Amino acid sequence: MKSKLAVVALGGNALLRGDQIGTIDEQEENTTKTLENLVFLLKEGYNLVITHGNGPQVGNILMRNDAGEQLYNIAQMPVDICVADSQGGIGYMIERMLRNVLSRHSISRNVICIVTQVVVDINDPAFNDPQKRIGKIYTKSEADDLASRKGWIFREEVKKEGGYRRVVPSPVPVDVMNHSIIRDLAMQGNIVIAAGGGGVPVYFDEKHDVRPAEVVIDKDLASSLLASLIGADEFYILTDVPYIYINYRKPDQEIKEFLNYNDALKYLNEGQFAKGSMAPKIVACLDFIKKGGKKSVITEAFRLADKKYGSKITMEYED
């Protein structure tokens, strides 16, 4: 019987909890607990590709950029290099923790991390409407100075009165470089870590040269695209809630454990899912199903192995 291929997207909560400061000990512990929840997939014969977020980590890299320039006159690196840095660091951590988990369960699988470039369309309308906040919070005078010197765009920070943060575009991903190699490696039984943080953002110029893009790609959309490109059977998003809910945090809150494509799309269009949190995950899952994927699952990072948790989206309701 042909092994199933699954893409598992580790959200930020899978690596770092909201009430933690982000030490490596905290991240390694969270990562190990999350990876333990993937063991049952491996024991059932699945081939795996793992993707991951990088929000807190790349934010720290960007702040180190700022501090290095201000204190020591160290040249800042652009967003694409910072994303690549985070892919390497987080990918290494996931690979090492996963090797230890596999050893404890007597599972023999190779694990490989690929620094992955994800292609965007330079004509995407998002380039004209940067919304994604990155880096540290600046004062108005600091933001004005940086805007003048570097051409950065700033918006007022909603979480701190009088603060401003840099914003960059967040275009839709259109391709994942080396996706055929990722598929080949995974189908040979290797566990592949790829497309971290939405991927290193690049585009093709008029000469068809690969150029860096100062953007941030949504990690769930990039993971969904990769899952479709490699012909994955199932797509998992591990986050900080055990189910998809409608009327979330209201008296009539309702768990939706099983959803078909049309009902999930209806709830999305009704505004049931918050734009900054669940909505992009629902969009990513629906896109995967629309392109031929069999099942999408959204659940809490530490509860995937407990099959009574998790919301499943399929084209039609499962029997």
Catalytic positions: 12-13, 132, 219, 281
Task: Find tokens 């380039």 and name the residue.
Answer: 127
Neighbour-count burial for 195-209, b at 16+ CB within 10 Å, e otherwise: bbbbbbbbbeeeeee
Distances 201 to 56, 102, 182, 241, 264 between C-alpha atoms, Å? 18, 32, 18, 28, 29
Distance CA 154, CA 164 (A): 6
Contact 302, 37 (CB under 8 A): yes
Distance CA 203, CA 211 (A): 5
Task: Find tokens 């084209």 and name the residue.
Answer: 315
Contact 261, 314 (CB under 8 A): yes
Contact 219, 51 (CB under 8 A): yes
